[in-house]
Amino acid sequence: MKKLVLFTILISLFTLSTMKGQEINYNYRIDSLINSMKIQQSEIEHIKLNLNKCHKEFQTGTTLYVLGFMVTGMYLITDISALPYISGGCFLIGSICMIDSHKFISVDDLLVKKNKPRHIVFEDLN
């Protein structure tokens, strides 16, 4: 009978010690997930910043392009000889700005660079 009680106590102690190790392991997993979420949040902020830069430059290019159309309309009305050159310059610069704005959303920039660590490595707690 004493052996059975002793055996039951040993089994319960072993189970409690195993459960305590799992609790540490769960805390480690939670910390790992939190850090992973922080990294993803910083990457999302970087993407938002690049999209904002792209939008501003594209908007500038579109404005110049529309200005070129307006100068062309003025040339048709007033017949000033310098206006076609000005409108052509506005078209050209506006088109270059619109095409160049896509450099902010290139695939290489959105992907994680090779030299940047993708995740944080923790020491094993066990």
Please write down the HEC assignment for all residues of 23-79: HHHHHHHHHHHHHHHHHHHHHHHHHHHHHHHHHHHHHHHHHHHHHHHHHHHHHHHHC
Shared domain check, 124 and 64: yes
Shared domain check, 49 and 28: no
Shared domain check, 55 and 116: yes
Closest CA relative to residue 30, chosen from 42, 22, 18: 22
Tens-digit pLDDT profile for residues 9-61: 766 766 655 555 555 566 777 888 888 888 888 888 888 888 899 999 999 99
Shared domain check, 83 and 102: yes
Shared domain check, 8 and 53: no
Shared domain check, 122 and 69: yes
Q: Is the pLDDT of residue 115 over 60?
A: no
Q: Domain of 30?
A: 1-35
Q: Is the pLDDT of residue 1 over 70?
A: no
Shared domain check, 78 and 23: no
Shared domain check, 102 and 70: yes
pLDDT of residue 124: 46
Shared domain check, 110 and 53: yes
Residue with tokens 């310098």: 82
Q: Is the pLDDT of residue 67 over 90?
A: yes
pLDDT of residue 24: 58
Number of domains, the chain? 2
Which range is least confidently modeled, 3-12, 30-39, 69-78, 115-124? Answer: 115-124
Tell me how many degrees the CA angle 32-37-39 measures, rounded to the nearest 5: 95
Q: What are the Cα distances from residue 35, in Å, to 26, 32, 89?
A: 14, 5, 50
Tens-digit pLDDT profile for residues 76-114: 888 888 889 999 999 999 999 999 988 888 766 555 554
Shared domain check, 93 and 65: yes
**Residue 112: helix, strand or coil by DSSP?**
coil
pLDDT of residue 59: 95
Shared domain check, 54 and 8: no
